[in-house]
Structure 1
Amino acid sequence: MAKNKAQDDGSWSKLIRDIVVILLLVLGIHSCVAKPFYIPSDSMMPVLRNGDRLIVSKYPYGWSYASVSFHLAPKTEGRLFGKLPERGDIVVLEHPVTRIDYIKRVIGLPGDTIQLTNGELSINGKPVKREVQPLLAIPVDPNLPSMGSSIDRFITRGADGREMLELPIVRETLPGGASFDTIDMGPGYTTDDYGPIKVPARHLFLMGDNRDGSADSRVDTSQKGLGGPVPFDVIAGRAEIISFSTDGTAIWYNPLSWFNALRSGRAGTDLRPERSSTAK
């Protein structure tokens, strides 16, 4: 009897050790290599949609306390093998105050002077190239627009009776050649005028692609914004690719609904911006 009990105790201790090893391995991969990320809002529309699942790489900018998943590490200064992002990169970061995960685009690097006038962005005194695009039509679903989103004003109904979003798109090209689409909902938003502000050393200026619906570096922390340029150390990783996207109709206890909820054409989308070598 005592022998069986000893065997049972040994089995349990081995199981616990195995679980701990697996958890440490997952934490290590999430913190040092890559981790999944879920988009919960419309702040990065039109590139990212509520319901997108991404792969975020952890190594392109080196590692800091923000690289550790689940916000387990104490705040410390500095990065191991640190390398600044490029303008146009989409990054995941810990909010400097709340430590909640955010996802935004890098607009300004250390030493840049950032200004917005009537919604038009300038970097170092030069207006960023803007090209108005045709309206972007996207089907409305339970995940889109997200609850409380400002883009719901663009909901219309198509000839087939289905609700659609018809979004006003402006394509921007930053110094260095990164090009991407943004949403510009027109005048009248408090974030349309900002600065000028110079980005301090080891800081980055971040903005959402949904320019009039993003709590980013233009917005005070009391309004869930980033409160200006953020320290480089809060950057956790770079968004690389959409793994899959769901429309919000899935029911957890019905596996068939999981497949029906998948949005077609989203999986495999590369999130690195197009870059022109001729842009300055």
Structure 2
Amino acid sequence: MTKTVEKQQSPLWENIKVIIQALLLAVVIRTFLFQPFTIPSGSMMPTLLVGDYIFVNKFAYGFSKYSFPGTFNLFSGRIFGSEPKRGDVVVFRFPPNPSVDYIKRLVGLPGDHIQMIDGVLYINGKPVPKVPDGTFSSDYSLDPGSHIPVYRETLSDGKTYDTLDQIPDGPGDNTREFIVPPGHYFMMGDNRDNSADSRFDVGMVPAENLVGRATMVFFSLGHDTPFSHIWDWPANMRWGRLFKAVQ
């Protein structure tokens, strides 16, 4: 009679395997599916606030060399790509320095003519409707504006979102006409008077530089609360922003 001896693995090794599998799964999700980002500035107010933590859909536009950790030049262009839509909130690599991530709203597609005239966005010669939509106050110490006029813009496809107009006749309210070249996009911040975007030094953003589309705010701390100050979370949590879709 033959006895079968089962080899039992130690609980410690089983725990190590579970941890390794979980880490590998996290790496795959972060690299190919969703990546968390923190909003560090007020350029996308009122849509995104300083202290928002968001998920970015990395497969929305396919993948480029900037989709992966590090600076490995694995390939050029995009694979499994799909075209972004006008009005998407997009994370991309800053063209003059691709090691830096930016987040803005895509307003210009390849071939579009983009211009700001008296604070109104013109796309291909037509003004984007802009109507008053209340006021906005910030709890961010470096941009503490209160009762800032909010204007709701509506694109030709029905996409609608709020913008801020802090400074009448600001430096970005009247621009030359920009023509978006093939394979590039024109980006603007919703905080129109406090955003470094395609009107200024960002310039046109190559398709290769797109990282993904912002989809959801999953966590949000106000009043410049550091993430590490867990004891301050209850008082400074923006509860109404948790799991809020990015429009």
Pair in the same fold by TM > 0.5: yes
Q: Which runs of 4+ in 1 moved over 6 A?
A: 17-21
The count of aligned residue pairs is: 233
Structure 1 unaligned residues grouped into runs of 5+: 1-10, 155-164, 221-225, 273-280
CA contact (8 A) 2:119 2:169 kept: no
Amino acid of the structure 1 residue aligned with 2:65:
Y
TM-fit CA distance, 1:185: 1.8
- TM-score relative to the length of structure 1: 0.76
Instruction: Indicate if the aligned counterparts of 2:51 and 2:225 stay in contact, CA closer than 8 A.
Output: no
- TM-score normalized by structure 2? 0.85
Q: How many Å apart are 1:171 and its aligned residue? A: 0.6
Shift of 1:65: 1.1
- Once the 2 structures are TM-superposed, how far is the Cα of residue 118 of structure 1 from its aligned partner? 1.9
Change (3 A) 1:37 1:61: same
Alignment match, 1:53: 53
Contact residue 87 and residue 175 of structure 1 kept, 8 A: no
Rounded to whole Å, the distance in 1 between the matches of 2:111 and 2:54 is 30
CA shift digits 1:228-276 (9 cap, x unpaired):
2110110000100100101234573x6433333311201011113xxxx
Tell me what 2:219 maps to: 244
Q: Secondary structure at the match of 2:134?
A: coil
Say if 1:19 and 1:98 are closer, same or farther in 2 by CA, change over 3 A. Answer: farther
Q: Aligned ranges for residues 1-280 of structure 1 at < 5 Å? A: 24-68=24-68, 70-74=69-73, 76-99=75-98, 100-136=100-136, 138=137, 140=139, 144-145=140-141, 147=142, 149=143, 152=144, 154=145, 165-220=146-201, 226=202, 228-247=203-222, 248-249=224-225, 252=228, 255-272=230-247
Counterpart contact for 2:41–2:50, Cα < 8 Å = yes
Rounded to whole Å, the distance in 1 between the matches of 2:74 and 2:46 is: 33
2:160 maps to amino acid? S
Counterpart in the other structure of 2:7: none
Alpha-carbon spacing, 1:251–1:58, altered in 2? closer, same or farther (3 Å): closer
- CA 1:219–1:26 in structure 2 vs 1: closer, same or farther (change >3 Å)? same
The Cα of 1:135 is off from its aligned counterpart by 1.8
- The question of whether the paired residues in 2 share the 8 Å contact of 1:107 and 1:206 is answered with yes
In the alignment, the residues of structure 1 paired with residue 197 and residue 138 of structure 2 have an alpha-carbon distance, to the nearest angstrom, of 26
User: Does the CA-based 8 Å contact 1:250-1:261 persist in structure 2?
Assistant: no
Would you tell me which structure has more helix in proportion to its own residues? 1
CA distance in 2, matches of 1:202, 1:89: 16
Calculate percent identity across the aligned residue pairs.
Answer: 41
Alpha carbons of 1:171 and 1:75: their partners in 2 closer, same or farther (altered >3 Å)?
farther
**Matched residue SS, 1:77:** coil
Across the aligned residues of Structure 1 and Structure 2, the Cα RMSD in angstroms comes to: 2.4
CA shift for structure 1 position 24 = 4.9
